[in-house]
Amino acid sequence: MSNQPTATFQTPACFVCGRVSLIELPAATAAALSAGVAVQHLLPAMPRPEREQLISGTHPACWAAAFGEPDET
């Protein structure tokens, strides 16, 4: 599993700070995301703020600054 190929996925620009993020993902996951597969299906264990960053590009810290801390148990 350690030699699983990875790919760099570029998120959309964060609407708060305007910067994109480059996130290293398994190659198959990055390809599926680029093809439009919903991130919650691909990465169900990923914390919601990080999924939000993949989908919208909004950084967890920027989201918290704009809207307050995510209301998650």
Measured at the CA of 30, the angle between CA 21 and CA 43, to 5 degrees, comes to 90
Task: Please check whether residue 70 is in contact with residue 48, taking contact to mean a CB–CB distance below 8 angstroms.
Answer: yes
Q: Minimum distance from CB of 40 to Zn ion (Å)?
A: 21
| Inter-helix orientation angle 48-56/60-67, to 10° | 100
Q: Minimum distance from CB of 65 to Zn ion (Å)?
A: 8
For residue 9, list its beta bridge partners.
Answer: 23
Nearer to Zn ion, 51 or 59 (CB): 59
Q: Minimum distance from CB of 69 to Zn ion (Å)?
A: 15
Nearer to Zn ion, 27 or 46 (CB): 46
Which residues of the chain form contacts with Zn ion (CB under 5 A)? 14, 16-17, 59, 62
